[in-house]
Amino acid sequence: MMKNDMAGIRRASYSASLLLALVIPAAVSAADAPSQAPALTLEKSVFLMRHGARSPNQTPEQLAPSSRRPWPQWPVGPGELTERGISLLTTLGGYYRQSYAAAGLLPEKGCPEAGTVAAWADNVVRRVPLSAQALLDGMFPGCGLQTGFAPQDKGPDPLFNPVEVGLCKLSVPKASAAILKAARGSLDQAARSERASLKAMQDILQVRSGTRCVNDAPSCGIEDFGNVLEGGKTGV
């Protein structure tokens, strides 16, 4: 599957718009609801999820300065969905099929009616549509359902990237204040509370950095990284 071109995925029905945002029709009527509850009808189910297991986004050569030990070689390129990731997502799709069938939203076997189930993926990187496709294949094996996604030459999909495309304006001061509030006023204090875990990670990776160390030290490991809030166009 990793060798397949994304053009195969692009042959999707764009009529239903919602990564892996998967839209499933409902088959639960008001008569199925408890008698004491108001008459309600479940119209559809939507769930949103991230991509599957991937390789590191950097090459082993790029990661080399971050550790004194050699980084492992991966069978796929940087940031690509792995075969294990495909397998896990396919299994997860089978689970969701059983779960939705038990809730009466889908038949236990067979393919869904045309136009009733749709998957829409972010177009930013190849692993996301491939992840959505693996999930669909696990839910509806042999049905030929295809994942839709926006053309990659048109820029980020606003559905998944509202800040990046300017639809949702980020307030750096408000975002920074919210982060500091969650960190109880100090990023360094939050890091100190996790020092034992950070030290364990440092013992494994043996990272050495010469930038942003606590107390302006010339070199430090993960447990002594300095922390700072920086505001940009897409985040803090």
Query: Which tokens is 52 given?
Result: 């599957």
Q: Residue 205, SS3?
A: helix
Q: Model's pTM, two decimal places? A: 0.71
In order of their start, the domains of the chain are 7-154 (3.40.50.1240), 172-224 (no CATH)
Q: Please, are residues 145 and 100 in contact by the beta-carbon 8 Å criterion?
A: no
Cα–Cα distances in Å, from 47 out to 43, 100, 145?
14, 12, 17
pLDDT in tens, 18-73: 355 666 666 544 445 455 667 777 778 888 889 999 999 999 888 887 777 788 89
pLDDT in tens, 83-128: 999 999 999 999 999 998 988 888 889 999 888 889 999 998 999 9
Amino acid at 115: G
pLDDT, residue 35, reads: 56
State the average pLDDT for the chain. 82
DSSP string covering 171-204: -HHHHHHHHHHHTTT-HHHHHHHTHHHHHHHHHH
- The residue among 218 and 32 whose pLDDT is bigger is 218
For 44, half-sphere exposure in the C-beta direction (CA atoms, 13 angstrom radius) is 13
For 183, half-sphere exposure in the C-beta direction (CA atoms, 13 angstrom radius) is 19
